[in-house]
Chains A and B, each alone.
Chain A
């Protein structure tokens, strides 16, 4: 274990508060009477419901299908009856309800038929689709659909695979407990990742404050038929951030605005590897995860929890205490306050941190920035937070972007050290959302303008075509008249006048029919393919340009706004 480690810039040393929750053994949380399963638990398109109210569902049954490439399915975490499909409270910073499927459980916990996947025999694309349909998404916090990340793309392989067991946020111990208890399964998941990504170097990064987890992972790595290097990394927040873990282990930085795969590195959380192992080796979709319940509770500990379990159930299990001041999902640095405690555990729920005024005193009032640049000293993105703050505060969003606002990972180090107690990250979130909103508005305006332009163009073209058609018709009529005249003039010159009458009748009829046919054909030719055929090259180019612009706008509108960063 003499791997040369690198130091990322910045970071802060925090009180760990890990011992509170990792001393008690792991327990499975009991089956709740009601499961509320949001359809949007991952980054990308929300899943589409595929069950109906009143339908009986089995454990592991898909209830929401993945919608598109960047999406993931959701499943019933236990058997029961679907009682509602509609908006319900979800753990989201906005506090707004989102589409959820509510299941009244029947206590039988009856599995749907499922079988292990022979992943080595499957085509890679099929396996990825299968994983998407099994709802596998990143469990480190960002919940990005794993199937997408397991596609090495044009490079055909991703040489370095990093398994992130950093878990640098204070209080949270679910990854620690998972590694201690399920190291073998995690590495089985890693084997599947290695298979799909064609990785040759596999590193597991674990903060050195988790010696038991490191030992368990190292022991499990011994029995593998491929090399996995378990590396202890210095415990400093945010060492568990994907970019920071990459830099610590490889010395490389992910280029701004690019993905780690662009430098041949892919990072997965240990929990994701475990979920992958369950999916492949047992055919079980992602319906449960480990959740740390800690903070102001009597018995802080980790539970294996079914997705959809109300958070309050878990707090009760851990021993609710008086005078709590709400709960966070996640840790104190990046976690979000829960609007109420009836919200369900979702794939992103790594921790429920119950607050109290003693543990988390209300933050003091902010003073003005004195430009001390402590924030810049601790910023792992190597930004100048004091400048970003100034730009965000004054609404100078353009300059904020110039100063790389979007490279901010919102780790909270700057806010933590600020002697003026300014909620800096909040200002960055505000600036980001303002910029997104403006871009969205601009896109909508562009789209409207394009539509308007195209309509104007279409109207003008139709008018022109109508005029041309009329002219052509008039021309055709004139030509026909000319022909008829000529025909009539020719008729007397026919060989035998006595013979001519009978055939001439027939001929005239034939000519009339032919003329009518010709007219009809001409008309058809004029009308049907008018959108694309017989256009002037300039017009054609104009249309193509407009179409290209529209396509670009559509493309832009389709792109996910959120960066795919994994949270530390």
Chain B
């Protein structure tokens, strides 16, 4: 056995556990602001992910224990669950999770080998295939007269019989959906923003959910689980792109604060774009990766066919990682040039 003979205490399990821990403020805020339905989604995604992981490990001839206990499957499950509408039907959650774990992760070679962020692949598949079901958001409690209980949420998710009026009373468009629909109806941003779902920064409730994700993200940064480059560049990309558009035509483009304080942006910037496996590795590459993802998010939100663009933006940047890494290799000790030696 060769040197070194000592190790730091870190482990993949520890890294993933911290990511899950950092998601807890967001989960708590979710429950507080939108009701307990998300817990059902999280649980279902977790169970599905672990089962899929175990099955795939067995099929691929890998030992189950070290890979199940690395918690990476649970991180994927949670990130996907938190991206889905809280009242999405069970089969949507299961399909998305299965696609994330089986196709995006294991068919690409398992832990560390996936080119794309598995949770975002799951999300993209769902939004492309089932756009209607992907709008079953439960509205913020502040705007709901009779919120669903945990049991009612579970009943909705598992396709049980719930009076339609009860369901209609809780589901509503997200602020991004509302903005998109309003703009399609030729309303100005100011007119749209008078709807009750909007508030100071983003949407009622949504802005605080975004703040909770931001808090968890800052925790990850403080623990050096993630580096500052990706989130900062991501947020800067959002801010600058949205600010640029808003500056030229405030009537047609949402304010940068509004775009920034969507929960998907904070979740994407701190938890998804920072996925080391599918992200850029060099310091400058991380800046390009994050900034590109932010920029693409605004472009897709503004001109694309979907209300939100975080998932597609991150997947597109995942695609560019080998190129980004190759051209952003940092200077090596004792060399003058950057990265690779020039071809002789």
Q: Chain A residues in contact with chain B, CB under 8 A?
A: 9, 12, 14, 93, 170, 243, 253-258, 328, 330, 332-337, 355, 360, 363-365, 367-374, 376, 380-384, 386-387, 402-404, 407, 410, 412, 415-421, 423, 425-426, 429
With a 10 A CB-CB cut-off, give which of B10, B110, B111, B331 has the most chain A CB atoms: B10
Establish whether residues A371 and B112, one from each chain, have CB atoms under 8 Å apart when the complex forms: yes
> B110 near A404 (CB under 8 angstroms)?
no
19 contacts between A and B (CB under 8 A): A9-B333, A14-B6, A243-B334, A253-B333, A255-B334, A256-B333, A256-B335, A332-B3, A337-B1, A355-B5, A363-B7, A367-B66, A370-B276, A373-B227, A387-B281, A407-B333, A412-B4, A418-B7, A418-B10
Residues of B close to A330: CB separation below 8 A: 3
In the complex where A170-B6, A355-B5, A383-B332 touch, is A419 in contact with B112 (Cβ < 8 A)?
Answer: no
How does the 8 Å CB contact mask read for B134-177 relative to A, with 1 for contact and 0 for none?
00000000000000000000000000000000000000000000
CA of A291 to CA of B277, assembled, Å:
44
Contact assessment for A386 and B341 in the assembled complex, using a CB-CB cutoff below 8 Å: no
A17 and chain B: residue at smallest CB distance: B6
B residues less than 8 Å from A371 (CB atoms): 112, 276-277, 279, 281
Main secondary structure of the interface of B (DSSP, over half): loop
> Quick one: which of B70, B281, B339 contacts A386, CB cutoff 8 A?
B281
A420 touching B12 by the CB < 8 A rule? Answer: yes
Residues of chain B at the chain A interface (Cβ within 8 Å): 1-8, 10-12, 14-15, 66-67, 70, 72, 110-113, 227, 276-277, 279, 281-282, 325, 329-336, 339-341
In the complex the two chains form, is A12's CB within 8 Å of B111's CB?
Answer: no
- Contact status A419-B2, CB under 8 Å: no
Q: Are A425 and B12 in contact (CB under 8 A)?
A: no
Whether the Cβ atoms of B276 and A373 lie closer than 8 Å is: yes
A417 to B14, alpha carbons, bound, how many Å? 13
Contact of A368 among B113, B282, B331 (CB under 8 A): B113
A9 vs B332: C-alpha distance in the bound complex, in angstroms? Answer: 10
Residues A416 and B332 in contact, CB atoms below 8 Å apart: no
Is B335's CB under 8 angstroms from A255's CB? yes
Known: A360-B5, A429-B2. Is A367-B333 also a contact (CB below 8 A)?
A: no
**In the complex, what distance in Å separates the CA atom of A256 from the CA atom of B335?**
5
In the complex, what's the smallest C-beta–C-beta distance from A142 to chain B, in angstroms? 15
- Asked if residues B8 and A417 are in contact (CB atoms below 8 Å), the reply is yes
Complex Cα gap A170–B7 (Å):
13
Q: Which of B1, B14, B277 contacts A419 (CB 8 A)?
A: B14
Q: Provide the bound-state CA to CA distance between A336 and B1, in Å.
A: 9
- Given A374-B10, A376-B281, A419-B11 in contact, is the A332-B334 Cβ separation under 8 Å? no
Question: Residues of A contacting B2 with CB < 8 Å?
Answer: 93, 336-337, 423, 425-426, 429
Question: Is there contact, CB below 8 Å, between A367 and B4?
Answer: no
Smallest CB separation, B337 vs chain A (Å): 10
Nearest A residue to B337, CB-CB = A256
Chain B residues with Cβ under 8 A from A374's Cβ? 10
A419–B334 touching, CB < 8 Å:
no
CB distance from B114 to the nearest CB of A (A): 10
- How far is A254 from B325 in the complex, measured between Cα atoms in Å? 26
- Contact among A14, A370, A383, A423 with B111 in the assembled complex (CB-CB below 8 Å): A370
Instruction: List chain B residues, Cβ under 8 A from A417.
Output: 8, 10
Cβ of B69 to closest chain A Cβ, rounded Å: 10
CB B70 to nearest CB in A, in angstroms, measures: 6
B335 / chain A contacts, CB cutoff of 8 Å? 255-256, 404, 407
CB distance from B119 to the nearest CB of A (A): 15
Known: A9-B333, A368-B112, A386-B281. A421 touches B1 (CB 8 A): no
* 10 closest A-B pairs by CB: A412-B4, A368-B112, A256-B334, A372-B276, A419-B10, A382-B333, A332-B5, A333-B4, A404-B332, A381-B333
- Taken together as a complex, chains A and B put the C-alpha atoms of A367 and B11 apart, in Å, by 9
How many pairs of residues, A versus B, come closer than 8 Å at their CB atoms? 137
Partner of A367, one of B70, B325, B330: B70
Smallest Cβ-Cβ distance to A372: which chain B residue: B276
Taking a contact as CB atoms under 8 Å apart, the answer to whether B281 and A373 are in contact is: yes
Residues from chain B with a CB closer than 8 A to the CB of A360 are 5-6
Q: Are the C-beta atoms of A333 and B3 separated by less than 8 Å? A: yes
CB within 8 A of A253: which of B3, B112, B325, B334? B334
**Contact call B112/A407, Cβ cutoff below 8 A:** no
**Min CB–CB distance A334 → chain B (angstroms):** 5
Given contacts A256-B334, A417-B10, is CB(A363)–CB(B1) below 8 Å? Answer: yes
State the Cβ distance, A6 to closest chain B Cβ, in Å. Answer: 13
Contacts of B8 in A (CB 8 A): 12, 416-418
Q: Other CB < 8 Å A-B pairs besides A370-B72, A372-B15, A374-B10, 10 of them?
A: A243-B333, A255-B336, A258-B334, A371-B279, A403-B340, A407-B334, A410-B3, A418-B7, A421-B7, A425-B3
Q: Are A416 and B7 in contact (CB under 8 A)?
A: yes
Please measure, in the bound complex, the distance between the C-alpha atom of A419 and the C-alpha atom of B5, giving whole angstroms.
Answer: 15
Q: For residue A9, which residue of chain B has the nearest CB? A: B333
Interface centre among B8, B66, B227, by most chain A C-beta atoms within 10 angstroms, is B8
User: Nearest-CB distance from A327 to chain B (Å)?
Assistant: 11
Cα distance A365–B67 when bound, in Å? 11
Given contacts A253-B334, A402-B340, contact A415 B4 (CB under 8 A): yes
Q: Are B4 and A416 in contact (CB under 8 A)?
A: yes
Enumerate chain B residues within 8 angstroms of A372, measured Cβ to Cβ.
15, 276
* Least CB separation from A383: chain B residue: B332
B-chain residues with CB within 8 Å of residue A376 when the two chains form the complex = 281-282
Nearest chain B CB to A172 CB, angstrom units: 13
* Contact status of A384 and B111, CB under 8 A, knowing A243-B334, A365-B66: no
Name B341's contact: one of A14, A170, A402 (CB within 8 Å). Answer: A402
* Chain A residue with the shortest CB-CB distance to B326: A387
Is B330's CB under 8 angstroms from A384's CB?
A: yes
**Nearest-Cβ distance from residue B56 to partner chain A, whole angstroms:** 14
Considering only CB atoms, which chain A residue lies closest to B286 in the complex? A373
Cα separation A37 to B44 with both chains bound (whole Å) = 68
Contacts of A412 in B (CB 8 A): 3-4
Q: A334 vs B4: C-alpha distance in the bound complex, in angstroms?
A: 6
Bound Cα distance from A332 to B334, whole angstroms: 26
Question: Is B334 in contact with A254, judged by CB distance below 8 angstroms?
Answer: yes
Q: A380 vs B332: C-alpha distance in the bound complex, in angstroms?
A: 9
Residue among A333, A335, A370 with most chain B CB within 10 A: A370
Among B4, B6, B330, the residue within 8 A (CB) of A425 is B4
Q: Which residue of B has the minimal Cβ distance to A413?
A: B4
Whole-angstrom CA separation of A429 from B1 in the bound complex: 13
C-alpha spacing A178/B336, complex, angstroms = 38
User: Smallest CB–CB gap between B4 and chain A, Å?
Assistant: 4
Chain A residues lying within 8 Å of B110, measured Cβ to Cβ, are: 368
In the complex the two chains form, what is the Cα distance from A161 to B331 in whole Å? Answer: 27
Among B66, B67, B227, B281, chain A packs the most CB atoms within 10 A around the CB of B281
Distance in angstroms from B193 CB to nearest chain A CB is: 41
Name the residue of chain A whose CB is nearest to the CB of B72: A370
A467 to B246, CA, bound (A): 93
Q: Complex: how many Å from CA A105 to CA B227?
A: 61
B340 touching A421, Cβ below 8 Å? no
In the assembled complex, the CB of B323 is this many whole angstroms from the nearest CB of chain A, namely 14
Docked-complex contact A328 and B5, CB < 8 angstroms: yes
* Given A373-B276, A407-B332, A407-B334, A384 and B282 contact (CB-CB distance below 8 Å): yes
Asked if A380 contacts B3 (CB within 8 A), the reply is no
Complex: how many Å from CA A535 to CA B4?
62
Which residues from chain B contact A425 at a C-beta distance below 8 Å?
2-4
CA distance A264 to B190 in the complex (A): 68
How many whole Å from A59's CB to the nearest CB in chain B? 34
What distance in Å separates the Cβ of A422 from its nearest Cβ neighbour in chain B?
A: 10
Q: Which residue of B lies closest to A252 (CB)?
A: B334
B329→A384 contact, CB < 8 A? yes
Please indicate the chain A residues that have their CB under 8 angstroms from the CB of B281 in the complex. 371, 373, 376, 384, 386-387
- Neighbouring A residues of B7 by C-beta, 8 Å: 363-364, 415-416, 418, 421
Contacts of B5 in A (CB 8 A): 328, 332-333, 335, 355, 360, 363
Contact A421 B11 (CB under 8 A): yes
- How far, in whole Å, are A212 and B56 apart by their CA atoms in the complex? 59
User: In the complex, which of the residues B4, B277, B333 has the most CB atoms of chain A within 10 Å of its own CB atom?
Assistant: B4
